[in-house]
Amino acid sequence: MSAPGLQLLATRHGLARICGDGTAELLDLPYRDVAELLRAGAGLTPAADASARDRLPLDSVTAELVAPLGSTRAVWGVGLNYHCKARAAGRAVPTEPVLYLKSASAGSGPDATVALPSSISAQPDYEGEIALVIGARMHRTPAEQAWSHVAAITAANDLTARDVMAASANPTLAKSFPGFGALGTSVLDIAAVADRDAIEVRTTVNGEVRQQATSADLIFPVPQLLAWITKYVILEPGDVVLTGTPAGTGQDRGCFLRPGDLVEVSVGGVLPLRTRFCAETPDDEPAVTSDGTSDVVAPSSPSHRKSADR
């Protein structure tokens, strides 16, 4: 079993373990990121037990970060899963989870700069979310056993082009532009989460608090959500499940993301996930590598204009 308080980073030099004294240890492990570590089949234990190759100030390590779940093979999301969001959108509470897959190619990591796809969307929106990192294979898993299959939590920004959602009725398209799947900054062992039923999520845009809630407000709590998903599909170690976004998105406020904006998502005890946004340029090309090391992630193509709830 992994040590309580274990919190991991992925760096250009390998995995690192955060220490309580403002330092981080570079680990003597062969894995590129946490998803690859979990696919090895021993959970987070190897990272808890590994010897350190070096110990550095945390600030110097965070300058070298890459996406901690850059090699994740599946990211599942759920629409309209907070009571406060349903109220803000004026929508009925769903009777079953509304699920979608987000393309792995949309992934981005800590402090990424993402180009807004203005040639195809006028309504790019932030969605701060609690992300669950699966640690053990799940298939038809009962709700009462679900938490035992979760290795960790992290922060997510499930970016969405609202007008593309409305025009296409396809959440995967609206949520899979390059850079629209931000995950990180750190990954926190589930054993370190004091109250799994009230994990906090908080989103700021340019320093202004826009979203603040806890998982106590979920329409489908984590055990029920995971049990529902695994009735139909297999979740493997390293997969990620997003749990939905609370009220306060740009859709709720009538103001969408613009070049120059900085969005920060904080979840539980995880290091804040920051994403910056810039304008699209004619020669922008998708630029996220499998390890999430790219600085600018940029889309291209034609245009739709409407808004939708998700």
Q: Would you place residue 167 in the very low, low, confident or very high pLDDT band (cuts 50, 70, 90)? A: very high
Q: Would you place residue 5 in the very low, low, confident or very high pLDDT band (cuts 50, 70, 90)? A: confident
Distance separating alpha carbons of residues 154 and 269, to the nearest angstrom? 9
Q: Would you place residue 43 in the very low, low, confident or very high pLDDT band (cuts 50, 70, 90)? A: very high
Q: Return the SS3 of 47.
A: helix
pLDDT of residue 283: 63
pLDDT of residue 309: 46
Q: Tokens representing 34?
A: 């946490």
- How confident is the model over 214-229, as a mean pLDDT? 98
What would the pLDDT profile of 233-266 be if each residue is shown by its tens digit? 999 999 999 999 999 999 999 999 999 999 999 9
Distance separating alpha carbons of residues 173 and 51, to the nearest angstrom? 42
- How confident is the model over 74-102, as a mean pLDDT? 95
Q: Return the SS3 of 143.
A: helix
Q: Would you place residue 284 in the very low, low, confident or very high pLDDT band (cuts 50, 70, 90)? A: low
Q: Would you place residue 282 in the very low, low, confident or very high pLDDT band (cuts 50, 70, 90)? A: confident
What would the pLDDT profile of 75-85 be if each residue is shown by its tens digit? 999 999 999 99
